[in-house]
Amino acid sequence: MQTLNIGILAHVDAGKTSLTERLLFDTGAITRLGSVDDGSTQTDSGAIERRRGITIRTAVAAFTLGGLQVNLIDTPGHTDFVAEVERALGVLDGAILVLSAVEGVQPHTRVLMRILKRLRLPTLIFVNKADRTGAREAGLLADIRRWLTPYAMPLTTVDGLGTPRARARPVPPDPELLAEHDDDLLQALVEGRAPDPERVRRALAAQCRDAVLHPVLFGSALTGAGVEHLLEAIPLLPAGGGSRKGGTVFAIERTPSGEKVAYVRLHSGTLRPRRPAAFFRGGEEYGARPTAVQVVGSRATTATAGDIAKVWGVPRVRVGDRVGSPPEPGERAHFPPPVLETVVTPRRPGQEGALHAALAALAEQDPFIGTRTLADGRTSVLLYGEVQKEVIAETLARDFGVEADFRPSSPVFLERPAGVGEAVQEIVRHGRNDEWATVGLRVEPGERGSGLTYRLEVELGALPLAFHRAIEESVEPELRSGLRGWPVTDVVVTLTRCGFAAPVSTAGHFRTRTRRVLRWALQAAGTRVYEPFHRFELEIPRDVLSQVATRLAALRADLAETEARPDGWLVRGEIPARRVHEVQRALPGLTHGRGVWWSEPSGDRLRNG
């Protein structure tokens, strides 16, 4: 049986979780139809998800369609979790983009379609809520072609549009639209020959598979109208493992006992319980022997190419890790850095240690949660958006029994060394020693984007391996808070001197002394503070350019280019990352709900003041 992994994406409230429920119900995967309104859906399991009616974490469900196993990944729709969406898309064979027939093409819909087109991910478009008052068909199809893709192919139409009696019926594919990417069909049309229906069907499947054409289907997840036609169209998406090697860990959950369960998409190879498996984080390999493997949607315990499997017994595993083969040249996980930070404190005194351990556990399993210890000993969390606070708070209370309070968020900055600094602290041969360890370190600037580089200027055999490891493992935690309180990056730390006294030296001596000497070396080098920036593109109506430009200037944005278009303006530039959420909040009011914002990290700049 072939396996097809597809994702459902949408603007908030377009009905993608309801569509997920309907697909599972209509294919017999579940016996009771869940509801977002009463909090009974299969894929939204968290209290916040049920309360808000939004999807926050990627969830996986499965159903069969003839001889095809379909793994359905219900992805987040809230803008705070767009990074989670991009993470999920990396393991998909195709996608279903859901629109509302009433609200139509919304700003976040256009952002999602932009991501889908950039990844060349084959996509079906499902227009939901055809039974609601105000639903549109012809006008909405024109908007889809205008704002999302000019190659939108309707495969259904609606009788009784905008009423509870709305029903979808199929329409034949348009050979003229297909002919724009098919020379044989074009020649047949020019010669006045009617194309063979099977030939048209093959062209439709090929162009959908190549992500140059996007089938459009109308219906209602609430009533089930049109869903049968969507199910018939799903096989147009390409099944199989694809051309990539190995597998990717794209999500992690925890059992009630706290054990990690990793979701792995296999592109090639096999994964079996109690058999050695190679896991990779960057260029580093760590071996594992999974205690259990469960293929999603079946009872199989051996995962093969194309499968999504739940894997137990790999305690080191993190989202983004590779399985079976290291990342290919140029491949990297796209995890944009968070731009907000908040201090977290336990609601009940005495739980500081438990809170810190719980946050560290969450950060260790999920790259979209970052933590660091501040100079005063408190713990801070790095965020992408304010909704994440609620998600983390719920997880802390539910999974770790710790209730926490979050301070107002502040922007995240970075520090880089301003120069070169060295420091050393040696064992006192004829005096009192608190640590029996000699450590000398040099700190200097590294290349932009290099992060932390650790080097040896001493022979590896100059210390027992455990002491070398203690020094290296102490460097990164110490650099999480620099001279100005921000993480230090793009830095080269070199071990210049070392020594020990057997049998009294311990690894703990080297850890303590390394942190102290590194701080001295950093003070000698000095640091400068940098502010992360995003590059952006903004599409706005013609009549609001002045107001939008004024607001962007007030938020310290640099406008690089303003391009006139038939339907408005395209504005490009750069803006401090901490201001992105302010723009997104203000944009609907400034643009009468018609502005579309897209941004991505673009580096940073020296902070003035």
Instruction: Give per-residue pLDDT as tens, 557-576.
Output: 999 999 998 889 999 999 99
pTM of the model: 0.74
| Least confident residue range of 68-77, 389-398, 463-472 | 68-77
Rounded mean pLDDT of 290-295? 94
Single out the residue of 37, 97, 122, 352 nearest to residue 217, CA to CA.
Answer: 97
| Least confident residue range of 96-105, 135-144, 213-222, 394-403 | 394-403
So what's the pLDDT on residue 519?
A: 97
All structural domains of the chain, each given as residue ranges with its CATH number in brackets, are: 2-236 (3.40.50.300), 247-323 (2.40.30.10), 340-407 (3.30.70.870), 415-525 (3.30.230.10), 530-606 (3.30.70.240)
So what's the pLDDT on residue 243?
A: 66
Rounded mean pLDDT of 341-359? 90
Supply the Cα-derived Rg of the chain in whole angstroms. Answer: 27
Percent of the chain past pLDDT 70, that is, above it, reads: 89
So what's the pLDDT on residue 85?
A: 61
- Between 518 and 393, whose confidence is greater? 518
- Between 196 and 417, whose confidence is greater? 417
So what's the pLDDT on residue 241?
A: 57
Listed in sequence order, the DSSP H helices in 27-152 are 47-52, 82-89, 107-118, 138-147
Bridge partners of 62, per DSSP, are: 71
Alpha-carbon distance of 372 to 361, in angstroms, equals 12
Burial status of residue 377 (CB atoms within 10 A of its CB: 0-12, 13-18, 19 or more): exposed
Say which amino acid occupies 564: A
pLDDT-based confidence at residue 49 (cuts at 50, 70, 90): very low
So what's the pLDDT on residue 505?
A: 94
pLDDT-based confidence at residue 46 (cuts at 50, 70, 90): very low
Alpha-carbon distance of 535 to 599, in angstroms, equals 6
| 323 contact partners, CB below 8 Å, separation of at least 6 | 246, 247, 248, 249, 264, 266, 271, 277, 278, 279, 280
pLDDT averaged over every residue in the chain: 87
| Least confident residue range of 51-65, 285-299, 307-321, 332-346 | 51-65
So what's the pLDDT on residue 599?
A: 81
CB 265 within 8 A of CB 245: no
Rounded mean pLDDT of 211-231? 97
Rounded alpha-carbon distances, angstroms, from residue 470 to 65, 354, 444, 464: 54, 24, 21, 10
